[in-house]
A and B are shown apart, each in its own frame.
Chain A
Amino acid sequence: MGMMADRLRMAAGLMLALVLALFGLAEAQDHSPVVLGMTAGFSGPTRAMAVELYRGALACLESRNALSASGLRKVALHAADDGYEPGPAIENTVRFLTRDKALALFSQLGTPTVSRVLPVLRAYADQGARLFFPVTGLEASRNPPYVRYVYNLRASYRQEIDALVGAFAARGATRVAICHQADAFGRSGWDGARRALARRNLPLCGEATFARVATAGDDMSAQAKVLAACTPQAILLVGPAPACAAAIRDFRRAGLDAAIGVVSFAGGELLLRQLAAEGARLGVDLEHDVIFSQVVPDWRDETLPAANEYRRALAELGDRLPPPGGWDAPASQAGSSVGFEGYLNARLFLTVLDAMADPDDRQGLDAAAAAAGRIDLGIGRSVTLTGPNHQALDLVYLNTAKDGRLVPLAASLAVAETED
Chain B
Amino acid sequence: MSRLFRKTLLAIVLVFGVSANATALLSAWLLHRHLTDEYVTKGRAIAMAIAAASPDALVSGDAASVQAMIDEFLRIEGVGYVFVADRMGRIAAHTFLPAMPATVPQVTVSHQEAISIDDAVIPDRGDFIQVTAPILAGEAGQVSVGMDKAGIWRVMREAVIRQEVLMLAMFAVAVVIFYALVSSIARPLAALAEYAVKIRDHDFSATPPPASDDEVGVLARAMGSMASQLSLLVSNLKQAVADTTRELNDSLAHIQAIIDNLADGLLVVDDAGRATLHNPALLAMFGLTGTDPAGRWVRDAFPPAMAALAASCLHDKALPETEVTLHDGGTGKVVATSFRLPGQARTAVILLVRDVTVEKEVDRMKTEFISTVSHELRTPLTSVLGFAKIIRRKFLELVVPALPPGDARIARGTGQIRENLDIIVAEGERLTELVDDVLDIAKMESGRCEWDMEPISLAAVADHAVKAATPLAARKGLALTADIASDLPAVMADRDRLVQVLLNLIGNAVKFTTSGWVRLSAAAVDGEVRVAVADSGAGIAAKDLETIFEKFKQAGDTLTEKPKGTGLGLPICRQIVERHGGRIWAESVPGKGSVFRFTLPALAGPTAERICPMVVAPTTGGDESRVLVVDDDAAVRRYLETVLTEGGYEVATAHGGAEALKLAASWKPGCITMDLHMPGMDGREAIRRLRADPATRDIPVMVLTVASNRERAASGADAVLAKPVDEEALLAAVRNLLEGPGEDDARPCLVYAADGGRRLSRRFLLCPGEVTSVDQEDGLWQALEKGFCGTVFVPASRGHDLDLGRLSAYPGVCVIIIPD
**A interface vs B, CB < 8 Å?**
86, 111-112, 115-116, 138-140, 143, 179, 182-188, 190-191, 195, 207-211, 220, 222-223, 226, 419-420
For residue A112, which residue of chain B has the nearest CB? Answer: B68
User: How many angstroms from the CA of A143 to the CA of B57 in the assembled complex?
Assistant: 11
Question: Chain A residues with Cβ under 8 A from B57's Cβ?
Answer: 140
User: How many angstroms from the CA of A138 to the CA of B71 in the assembled complex?
Assistant: 16
A182 and B97 in contact, given A140-B62, A187-B63, A188-B63 (Cβ under 8 angstroms): yes
A210 partner, pick from B60, B61, B71, B98, beta carbons under 8 A: B98
A226 partner, pick from B63, B93, B99, beta carbons under 8 A: B99
User: How many angstroms from the CA of A184 to the CA of B64 in the assembled complex?
Assistant: 4
User: How many angstroms from the CA of A420 to the CA of B61 in the assembled complex?
Assistant: 7
Q: Is the CB of B63 within 8 A of A140?
A: no
Question: Chain B residues with Cβ under 8 A from A183's Cβ?
Answer: 67-68, 71
Q: Is the CB of B97 within 8 A of A187?
A: no
A191 partner, pick from B63, B95, B97, beta carbons under 8 A: B63
Per-residue contact bits, chain B 48-68, to A (CB 8 Å; 1 contact, 0 not): 000000000100111111111
Q: Is B96 among interface residues, defined by CB-CB distance under 8 A?
A: yes
For residue A179, which residue of chain B has the nearest CB? Answer: B98
User: How many angstroms from the CA of A179 to the CA of B97 in the assembled complex?
Assistant: 10
User: How many angstroms from the CA of A88 to the CA of B67 in the assembled complex?
Assistant: 19
Q: Is B72 among interface residues, defined by CB-CB distance under 8 A?
A: yes
Q: How many interface contacts (CB-CB < 8 Å) are there between A and B?
A: 73
How far does the Cβ of A98 sit from chain B's closest Cβ, in whole Å?
23
Q: Is the CB of B72 within 8 A of A143?
A: no
Q: Is the CB of B98 within 8 A of A139?
A: no
Question: Chain B residues with Cβ under 8 A from A185's Cβ?
Answer: 64
Question: Chain B residues with Cβ under 8 A from A211's Cβ?
Answer: 97
Q: Is the CB of A207 within 8 A of B99?
A: yes
Per-residue contact bits, chain B 64-89, to A (CB 8 Å; 1 contact, 0 not): 11111001100000000000000000
Question: Chain B residues with Cβ under 8 A from A140's Cβ?
Answer: 57, 62, 64-65
A116 partner, pick from B62, B72, B95, B96, beta carbons under 8 A: B72
How far does the Cβ of A210 sit from chain B's closest Cβ, in whole Å?
6
Q: Is the CB of A191 within 8 A of B99?
A: no
Question: Chain B residues with Cβ under 8 A from A116's Cβ?
Answer: 68, 72
Q: List 22 A-B contacts (CB under 8 A).
A: A86-B68, A112-B68, A115-B68, A139-B65, A140-B62, A143-B60, A182-B71, A183-B68, A184-B64, A185-B64, A186-B67, A187-B63, A188-B63, A190-B63, A191-B62, A191-B64, A208-B98, A210-B97, A220-B98, A223-B99, A226-B99, A419-B60
Q: Is the CB of B99 within 8 A of A208?
A: yes
For residue B75, which residue of chain A has the nearest CB? Answer: A87
Q: Is the CB of A209 within 8 A of B62?
A: no
Q: Is the CB of A222 within 8 A of B62?
A: no
With A208-B99, A209-B96 already in contact, 20 other A-B pairs whose C-beta atoms are closer than 8 Å: A86-B72, A111-B68, A138-B64, A140-B62, A140-B64, A143-B60, A179-B98, A182-B71, A184-B71, A187-B64, A188-B63, A188-B67, A190-B63, A191-B64, A195-B61, A209-B94, A211-B97, A222-B98, A419-B61, A420-B61
User: How many angstroms from the CA of A223 to the CA of B94 in the assembled complex?
Assistant: 15
Q: Is the CB of B64 within 8 A of A115?
A: yes
Chain B residues with a Cβ closer than 8 Å to the other chain, count: 19
Per-residue contact bits, chain B 87-116, to A (CB 8 Å; 1 contact, 0 not): 000000111111100000000000000000
Question: Chain A residues with Cβ under 8 A from B67's Cβ?
Answer: 183-184, 186-188
Top 8 closest A-B pairs, CB basis? A187-B67, A188-B64, A184-B68, A191-B63, A223-B98, A115-B68, A184-B64, A208-B98
Question: Chain A residues with Cβ under 8 A from B96's Cβ?
Answer: 182, 209
Question: By CB atoms of chain A within 10 A, which of B60, B64, B67 has the most?
Answer: B64
A184 and B65 in contact, given A86-B72, A223-B98 (Cβ under 8 angstroms): yes
User: How many angstroms from the CA of A185 to the CA of B66 in the assembled complex?
Assistant: 11
User: How many angstroms from the CA of A208 to the CA of B94 in the assembled complex?
Assistant: 11
User: How many angstroms from the CA of A183 to the CA of B68 in the assembled complex?
Assistant: 6
B64 partner, pick from A139, A207, A420, beta carbons under 8 A: A139
A112 and B71 in contact, given A190-B63, A191-B63, A420-B60 (Cβ under 8 angstroms): yes
A115 and B65 in contact, given A183-B71, A184-B71 (Cβ under 8 angstroms): yes
Question: Chain B residues with Cβ under 8 A from A190's Cβ?
Answer: 63
User: How many angstroms from the CA of A216 to the CA of B67 in the assembled complex?
Assistant: 24
Q: Is the CB of A187 within 8 A of B66?
A: yes
A143 partner, pick from B62, B66, B98, beta carbons under 8 A: B62
User: How many angstroms from the CA of A184 to the CA of B67 in the assembled complex?
Assistant: 5
For residue A87, which residue of chain B has the nearest CB? Answer: B75
User: How many angstroms from the CA of A223 to the CA of B57 in the assembled complex?
Assistant: 28
How far does the Cβ of B77 sit from chain A's closest Cβ, in whole Å?
16
User: How many angstroms from the CA of A211 to the CA of B65 in the assembled complex?
Assistant: 17
B62 partner, pick from A139, A182, A210, A223, beta carbons under 8 A: A139
For residue B96, which residue of chain A has the nearest CB? Answer: A209
Question: By CB atoms of chain B within 10 A, which of A182, A184, A186, A419 has the most?
Answer: A184
Question: Chain B residues with Cβ under 8 A from A115's Cβ?
Answer: 64-65, 68
User: How many angstroms from the CA of A190 to the CA of B60 in the assembled complex?
Assistant: 15
How far does the Cβ of A48 sit from chain B's closest Cβ, in whole Å?
23
How far does the Cβ of B666 sit from chain A's closest Cβ, in whole Å?
174
For residue A145, which residue of chain B has the nearest CB? Answer: B56
Which residues of chain B in 289-322 are interfacial with respect to chain A, using CB atoms and an 8 Å cutoff? none
A111 partner, pick from B64, B66, B93, B94, beta carbons under 8 A: B64
Question: Chain A residues with Cβ under 8 A from B62's Cβ?
Answer: 139-140, 143, 191
How far does the Cβ of B595 sit from chain A's closest Cβ, in whole Å?
159
Question: Chain B residues with Cβ under 8 A from A209's Cβ?
Answer: 94, 96-99
Question: By CB atoms of chain A within 10 A, which of B66, B71, B93, B98 has the most?
Answer: B98
Question: Chain B residues with Cβ under 8 A from A210's Cβ?
Answer: 97-98
How far does the Cβ of A242 sit from chain B's closest Cβ, in whole Å?
16
User: How many angstroms from the CA of A138 to the CA of B67 in the assembled complex?
Assistant: 12
User: How many angstroms from the CA of A86 to the CA of B65 in the assembled complex?
Assistant: 13
User: How many angstroms from the CA of A223 to the CA of B60 in the assembled complex?
Assistant: 29
Question: By CB atoms of chain A within 10 A, which of B60, B65, B67, B97 has the most?
Answer: B67
User: How many angstroms from the CA of A135 to the CA of B98 in the assembled complex?
Assistant: 26
Q: Is the CB of A182 within 8 A of B61?
A: no
Question: Chain A residues with Cβ under 8 A from B64's Cβ?
Answer: 111, 115, 138-140, 184-185, 187-188, 191
Question: Chain A residues with Cβ under 8 A from B63's Cβ?
Answer: 187-188, 190-191
Question: Chain A residues with Cβ under 8 A from B61's Cβ?
Answer: 191, 195, 419-420
Question: Chain A residues with Cβ under 8 A from B71's Cβ?
Answer: 112, 182-184
Q: Is the CB of A187 within 8 A of B99?
A: no
User: How many angstroms from the CA of A6 to the CA of B190 in the assembled complex?
Assistant: 83
User: How many angstroms from the CA of A143 to the CA of B62 in the assembled complex?
Assistant: 10
User: How many angstroms from the CA of A420 to the CA of B66 in the assembled complex?
Assistant: 16
User: How many angstroms from the CA of A179 to the CA of B98 in the assembled complex?
Assistant: 9
Question: Chain A residues with Cβ under 8 A from B94's Cβ?
Answer: 209
User: How many angstroms from the CA of A220 to the CA of B65 in the assembled complex?
Assistant: 25
For residue A223, which residue of chain B has the nearest CB? Answer: B98
A226 and B98 in contact, given A184-B65, A188-B63, A188-B64 (Cβ under 8 angstroms): yes
Which residues of chain B in 757-805 are interfacial with respect to chain A, using CB atoms and an 8 Å cutoff? none
User: How many angstroms from the CA of A226 to the CA of B101 in the assembled complex?
Assistant: 10
User: How many angstroms from the CA of A185 to the CA of B71 in the assembled complex?
Assistant: 11
Question: By CB atoms of chain A within 10 A, which of B62, B63, B68 has the most?
Answer: B68
